[in-house]
Structure 1
């Protein structure tokens, strides 16, 4: 028998070529913003613990992106000396290094994977209260055939300016450069930043893209004494779970469902905000999701349909140990089989059942609820949580620490059942009828048909 030793360590090629393929360019940029957010959490942990409404006020992350330039910088405290090795090497040996704070990073690959995705050569500079550290991932080091993993850190005394981290791409990959030149990429990234960081922007964190401040697209709910969302909260091990499902706009009328147009109250198109948003430690993982991932079409919850465009919700997970969050390493997907996620999912389904049943009850008479919903104030996730957590009662079915508050929604008066009538006619015929009725030919066919019906009922003396 012959014994020999095998070097079974990781391949440089796997890390610098294969690992970046697991993440989209958009999510690679978001991962770098996540690092700034983690720094902000470390800087403001006392304000976060104290439930300060704006714990991140004054902290910011700036993105500069063009075809030949990429830089991200923040003023979020820099990398502490005792975290430098973990932050700059590929992967963490000690993944509990931040398990006393509600950060997102877990495995120590996010920043490096993003750098490898974007650039052939990049420089990281960290200014902390105790030192300024510079490290360069250059072309030689990133060469897949170079077996050397050693990085050279230049550490100097603290330098002037606010503590923070900057990452500069010295040589962007040609294919990435082409994408960075695209206006559509910049537009898509701005929308993603507005959605995925809406929660922290509302809490005072500032993000700019090429000098333009990102405005949040937060999840909001209509909230008054006689109309309020479904609310659920519980704790599973180290993780706090909260679920909110409610209305964010007026109910969708039949003609709006057919035409997919802007809502009557001039809100943004409902389908862009309807659905369930999943948040982990202040970071949105899924925005306005309308798939089975967040309960739509599961059990006795109907599949998403334009009829439900007034329904929004949030499943919120908070933990000081990021390993207990139901999120993938790319932070772009969820571990839906995780026990803590199933807890949140089941509660979201309960809320969806109540809200979809409500829209069914008012189908065809949506206008009855217009004033009630339109005059109800808009409330943020934080406002809803603060108000409903105080009145939630123990949920015996869920057991443990689970508490919930059922949705408060108007009930329809007893009435003759409404029916939907639909038929098809040639456009020219509809336009001719519209002209005869003195209506505009650009009116929706359903409006013309309803006018014909109304006029006929009047001629028969059925209505006045």
Structure 2
């Protein structure tokens, strides 16, 4: 009996939806900001960041993020930095979370990397990308522009309807700025600049009475410091977990931080308590 071949390959839509469905819009933006910060840290060897910035501009028609954090090297561009599902660890920043983030927003994606040693441009048309199971990206080498910063620019047009609505919503913009201010407070304190629609973001630290602060101590190979606050201004209480200068958990009261009513002593109020754990 002759066997028949059936095309059981997943559709383009399924692949793209699977990549992006579980990520919040804010988290996708944070992925892109993290890429820029990591690239700047790689250049400076985790020293001063005051010469570096990332700028976000968006409205209901487009989203653009640009930085002066060195761009993507030729080795990483051609080596798979933009490959879907790449298992490579791009310690120099650009490439980590990049695909998932920009695919979340829209259908026409233009990526431009400006470097003195290698400058390039890529255009992704999501409606055509993956046709006939062709997932290759085509890179065009361009002239280095010495009149602008060395860095990466990602421009996204033909936004999805949900994204377009969010990017034109005042409440979304306000909450995004507040979250960036809180999440990246230690990076902003180090001088790294984050600009949203031409507004420079200021760091937002815990405002309350500092009642205890431990010195740094190595625990299981991690450099840990704990700070306790009382009478905080905001009504939210819980734990803030900061890893490498980024707030990973904010006002957490879950099992992740062992917050439990069983541990709360009577006659003590934890309503305006915040604990901060720094892992450097």
When the two structures are superposed, what TM-score results if normalisation uses the length of structure 2? 0.86
Structure 2 counterpart of 1:28: 28
Q: Does 1:116 align with 2:103?
A: yes
Q: Deviations over 1:101-141 (max 9, x none)?
A: 7x6x8xx5611111111011111111123121111111344
Q: Does 1:288 align with 2:272?
A: no
Structure 2 counterpart of 1:386: none
Q: Distance in 2 between matches of 1:246 and 1:117?
A: 38
Question: What SS does structure 2 have at the residue aligned with 1:57?
Answer: coil
Structure 1 counterpart of 2:263: 301
What is the Cα deviation at residue 285 of structure 1?
1.2
Q: Deviations over 1:244-283 (max 9, x none)?
A: 1312x44xxxxxxxxxxxxxxxx732x24x3211122222
- How many residue pairs match? The answer is 277
Q: Distance in 1 between matches of 2:82 and 2:36?
A: 14
Q: Distance in 2 between matches of 1:37 and 1:75?
A: 10
Q: Deviations over 1:203-233 (max 9, x none)?
A: 111111111111111246756xxx5324562
Q: Distance in 2 between matches of 1:168 and 1:25?
A: 16
Structure 2 counterpart of 1:376: none
The structure with the greater share of residues assigned to strand is 2
Question: What SS does structure 2 have at the residue aligned with 1:185?
Answer: helix
Question: What SS does structure 2 have at the residue aligned with 1:186?
Answer: helix
C-alpha spacing 1:307/1:158, structure 2 compared with 1 (3 Å): same
RMSD: 3.1
Question: What SS does structure 2 have at the residue aligned with 1:88?
Answer: coil
What pairs with 1:105-144 in structure 2 (closer than 5 Å)? 108=95, 110-142=97-129
C-alpha spacing 1:232/1:45, structure 2 compared with 1 (3 Å): closer
Q: Does 1:89 align with 2:83?
A: yes
Which of 200, 224, 234 pairs up with 2:218? Answer: 234
What is the Cα deviation at residue 151 of structure 1?
0.9
Which of 163, 166, 170 pairs up with 2:150? Answer: 163
What pairs with 1:35-434 in structure 2 (closer than 5 Å)? 35-45=35-45, 47=47, 55-84=48-77, 85-95=79-89, 97-98=90-91, 108=95, 110-142=97-129, 146-160=132-146, 161-219=148-206, 222=209, 228-231=212-215, 233-237=217-221, 240-247=222-229, 249-250=230-231, 268-269=233-234, 271-272=235-236, 274-297=237-260, 300-302=262-264, 307-318=269-280
The 8 Å contact of residues 55 and 198 in structure 2, kept in 1 or not, is answered as yes
- Which structure is larger by alpha-carbon Rg, 1 or 2? 1
The 8 Å contact of residues 91 and 109 in structure 1, kept in 2 or not, is answered as no
C-alpha spacing 1:296/1:210, structure 2 compared with 1 (3 Å): same
C-alpha spacing 1:9/1:202, structure 2 compared with 1 (3 Å): farther
Question: What SS does structure 2 have at the residue aligned with 1:307?
Answer: coil
What is the Cα deviation at residue 146 of structure 1?
4.1
The structure with the greater share of residues assigned to helix is 1
What is the Cα deviation at residue 5 of structure 1?
9.7
Structure 2 stretches lacking a partner, 5+ long: none
Q: Distance in 2 between matches of 1:59 and 1:8?
A: 47
Q: Distance in 2 between matches of 1:276 and 1:89?
A: 36
Q: Deviations over 1:345-371 (max 9, x none)?
A: xxxxxxxxxxxxxxxxxxxxxxxxxxx
